[in-house]
Structure 1
């Protein structure tokens, strides 16, 4: 199969290609500006809470706690991302114990098949979660039933609960109002792409603040 058959719009004449490249450049600039605005908005809304959350997380790590991260789809890759960041932080940084619940495919698929997908995070937390641990749940919509159930189970067992959501927070905002999520950070956007980009920035900031808190004597 030729490149031309895969991307015919790149082979429709010089004028068309120039217009296409101009559209790509404009769209890219708009998206960069959009995520920049969203990141500044999140920082303005949560600057003090980010510090408070990171301080609480550092206290749990100092007590021997672990980070249990979970989410669905793209959020599961973000959960894996923050676990990798904790486990292999690079020179001069303290490695931190962290587990991505979606990495255990055997347990996840068994629970989904035998019980129901809504319990795939709650059951492992109920089985292995300890009061000194941290549960971090990610959902772009804020309404993922299995993420909410995982956070509720973590709260019941005394874990520190942290949530990252999008839009207006959805059901995760309601759970935070009931005290089931200790720290909730909402990315106020209707774009899943921008939400996930802002969530990535948020957990990197939390990780950086945790590292600083742990480094202070």
Structure 2
């Protein structure tokens, strides 16, 4: 089983390499937003919520370079907000309502959904798009629905959740490194 999983990972990685130009464009999108005083919002469910928090922490804290913090927020972390919105408006609205309250034109919303069909992530992307935020999606092979709301959609060529998540965190790290490198260069 171990050898099979490693072989699956390698095969998905090879397919994901085709996303390099889109990942570079996503890095530019995030870098430009941060360098012009905007923030990055992240959302996702389950493992994708953990990825959202992880990426927000890399931007707010630091990734590899010692630098000032930059505004990034995972919309998955405030249990009072999540439960209030979920109770009053339904779970589908938990991220969209936060985008309406926190998002501003020029910010970036990163929606993460391995299926590409998470209703609350799609609702947040739809609201963000209407508000003038840039929209970046992280999905799996079935990304058509999500891609329709995104400026850029990084669709991993797999339908296996674990393999998709492995590529999402790798691409998330690369995205953070691109942004951090741009920030450090501009500050010198």
The answer to whether TM tops 0.5 is yes
Query: Does structure 2 retain, via aligned residues, the 8 Å contact 1:93–1:211?
Result: no
Q: Which residue of the partner structure matches residue 47 of structure 1? A: 20
Matches within 5 A, 1:60-209: 60-90=33-63, 92-94=65-67, 95-173=69-147, 175=148, 180-209=149-178
Gaps spanning 5+ residues in structure 2: where? Answer: none
Q: Distance in 2 between the 1:91 and 1:143 partners? A: 33
Q: Which has the larger radius of gyration?
A: 1
Q: 1:111 to 1:211 in 2, by over 3 A?
A: same
**CA RMSD in angstroms, aligned pairs only:** 1.4
TM-score when scaled to structure 2?
0.92
**Partner of 2:117: helix, strand, or coil?**
coil
TM-score when scaled to structure 1?
0.80
Structure 1 runs, 4 residues or longer, greater than 4 Å off: none
Q: How many pairs align? A: 185
Residue 145 of structure 1, CA deviation: 0.6
Residue 91 of structure 1, CA deviation: 5.6
Between 1 and 2, higher relative CO (CA 8 Å, sep ≥ 6) is seen in 2
Q: Distance in 2 between the 1:195 and 1:99 partners? A: 22
**Partner of 1:30: helix, strand, or coil?**
helix
